[in-house]
């Protein structure tokens, strides 16, 4: 069985195994994805990423969550792939297509990359939700019926589905895991959902923790940071740009006025490289 080389990278602690599948097809089964991502017995990562040829972009980026499911996009991985592509091509800007739509990445200083994530999708059926609701604050709550501890979250798609609760404190691991794992597969979200918990610290600062669909509590979620800023601005809680402080570092998010695109800037780190034993070529 062909042996597949990879690069291990992270963006603000959200980590990835990145496979270059432009010369040879890479089609792992869900079991193989889970085995690669397993931190105890595999390489260990939040998401598995494959670079593929593209007719419309410099590269196509395919994303699998650690649970084996293929998903639309991954913001932190877009920064990592953007860094690899800028280094490889010498281009100032690279176009990366994903199942969640086209994006543009460019270097933003030493070990930092800015990705234009495109415009957020804000209609109920674009999140998607199972029924029509006002996505600035949907009818969803967590906790005792008569005293919910989290309620009326914002819903945003960055190509992948996000729900963002606004709290007056930064929740601990137990709360994020308990509430996140319950809501990730709530019937209101036909495709599942990434569950963000945002503590707005000021008009340009948000502390965010995210229980990711298919990956659990991660150190950072790039699309989650974009969704949190968009949801916060739509509720008048922040301006159009903010520093989003995640467990693994800081991301700077700007919901650009001129074209409605969301730009995310943050760190990229190469951790090492290796070979995946016995994965389907």
Ligand X SMILES: N[C@H](CCC[C@H](N)C(=O)O)C(=O)O
Binding residues for substrate: 14, 47, 65, 75-76, 160, 194, 212-213, 222-223
Tokens of 99: 């199942």
Q: Interface with ligand X includes 221 (CB under 6 A)?
A: yes
135 or 223: whose CB is closer to ligand X? 223
Q: Interface with ligand X includes 222 (CB under 6 A)?
A: yes
45 is annotated as an active-site residue: no
134 vs 118: CA distance, rounded Å? 22
Intra-chain end-to-end CA distance of the chain, in Å? 8
Catalytic hit among 37, 45, 221, 226: 221
Q: Interface with ligand X includes 118 (CB under 6 A)?
A: no
Q: Which of 4, 76, 103, 135 touches ligand X (CB under 6 A)? A: 76
Q: Which of 42, 118, 196, 214 touches ligand X (CB under 6 A)? A: 214
Contact between residue 118 and residue 263 where contact means Cβ atoms under 8 Å apart? no
CA torsion sign, 251 to 246 to 212 to 85?
positive
Beta-strand relationship, 47-52 and 262-267: unpaired
Q: Interface with ligand X includes 10 (CB under 6 A)?
A: no
Tokens of 101: 């739509």
CB of 124 to ligand X, least distance (A): 18
Q: Interface with ligand X includes 247 (CB under 6 A)?
A: no
Q: Interface with ligand X includes 103 (CB under 6 A)?
A: no
154 or 214: whose CB is closer to ligand X? 214
CA 229 vs. chain centroid, Å, equals: 13
Q: Which of 6, 9, 10, 14 touches ligand X (CB under 6 A)? A: 14
CB of 241 to ligand X, least distance (A): 18
Tokens of 187: 């019937």
23 vs 155: CA distance, rounded Å? 38
CB of 220 to ligand X, least distance (A): 7
243 vs 204: CA distance, rounded Å? 6
Catalytic hit among 45, 74, 80, 226: 74
37 is annotated as an active-site residue: no
Point out which residues pair with 97 in neighbouring strands: 60, 102
DSSP-assigned states of every residue in 15-60: EEEEEE-SSS-----HHHHHHHH-TTTSS--SEEEEEE--SSSSEE
Nearest Cα to Cα of residue 251 among 277, 216, 227, 231: 227
Total residues contacting ligand X by CB under 6 A comes to 19
Nearest Cα to Cα of residue 48 among 31, 70, 78, 75: 70
Q: Which of 20, 58, 116, 212 touches ligand X (CB under 6 A)? A: 212
CB of 222 to ligand X, least distance (A): 3
9 or 86: whose CB is closer to ligand X? 9
Q: Interface with ligand X includes 194 (CB under 6 A)?
A: yes
Residues that bind ligand X (CB under 6 A): 14, 46-47, 63, 65, 71, 74-76, 160, 194, 212-215, 218, 221-223
What is the set of active-site residues?
74, 221
């Amino acid at each position: 069985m062909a042996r597949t080389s990879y690069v291990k990278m992270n963006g603000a602690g959200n980590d990835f195994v990145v496979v270059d599948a432009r010369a040879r097809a890479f089609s792992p089964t869900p079991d193989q994805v889970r085995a690669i991502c397993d931190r105890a017995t595999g390489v260990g990562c939040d998401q598995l990423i494959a670079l593929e040829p593209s007719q419309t972009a410099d590269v196509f980026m395919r994303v699998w969550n650690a649970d084996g499911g293929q998903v639309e996009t991954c913001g932190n991985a877009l920064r990592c792939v953007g860094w690899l592509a800028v280094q490889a091509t010498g281009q100032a800007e690279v176009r990366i297509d994903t199942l969640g739509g086209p994006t543009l990445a460019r270097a933003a200083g030493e070990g930092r990359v800015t990705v234009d994530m495109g415009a957020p999708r804000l209609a109920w059926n674009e999140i998607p939700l199972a029924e029509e609701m006002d996505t600035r604050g949907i009818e969803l709550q967590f906790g005792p019926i008569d005293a919910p501890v989290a309620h009326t979250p914002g819903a945003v798609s960055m190509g992948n589905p996000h729900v963002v609760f606004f709290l007056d404190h930064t929740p601990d691991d137990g709360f994020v895991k308990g509430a996140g794992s319950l809501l990730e597969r709530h019937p209101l979200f036909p495709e599942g959902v990434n569950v963000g918990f945002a503590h707005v610290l000021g008009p340009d600062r948000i502390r965010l923790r995210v229980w990711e669909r298919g990956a659990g509590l991660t150190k950072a979620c790039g699309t989650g940071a974009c969704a949190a800023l968009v949801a916060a601005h739509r509720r008048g809680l922040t301006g159009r740009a903010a520093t989003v402080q995640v467990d693994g570092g800081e991301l700077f998010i700007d919901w650009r006025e001129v074209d409605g695109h969301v730009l995310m800037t943050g760190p990229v780190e190469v951790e090492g490289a290796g070979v995946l034993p016995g994965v389907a070529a």
